[in-house]
Amino acid sequence: MIDTVSLWVVIIGLGLGSFGLRYVFLGLVGDRPMPAWLLRHLRYTAAAIIPALVAPLVLWPRATGGEPDPVRLVAALATFAIGYVTKNVFLAMVCGAGILAGLPLLY
């Protein structure tokens, strides 16, 4: 159990850190033009973060004790394939969620 003082120190520290990081980009650099190479790299940030968040949940899910789950793998592959073919993010997410929820019912 964490004591109240430690909890508030962590919350305040994370808040200050978050504010400081945002202030550096928005307050100090926000009114200046950024170089083209930096803008090019920033364009790929979301495309890099989403797979980094999803991959561990698909490959080593906590619900299965870290063992790969065929249902999750099939749902992830179907989501990727549908998104790649249709270029429709929402359709891909709905189909992937449907497969993830519906496939175990077939067993």
Q: HEC states along 87-103?
A: CCHHHHHHHHHHHHHHH
Task: Estimate the crossing angle of helix 89-102 against helix 70-86, to 10 degrees.
Answer: 160
pLDDT, mean of residues 14-21? 95
SS3 77: helix
pLDDT tens-digit profile of 18-40? 999 989 888 887 788 888 998 89
Tens digits of residue pLDDT in 38-75: 889 888 888 889 889 989 989 998 888 889 889 999 99
pLDDT band at 79 (very low <50, low <70, confident <90, very high): very high
Does residue 92 carry a pLDDT above 80?
yes
- Quote the distance between the C-alpha of residue 80 and its chain's center: 15
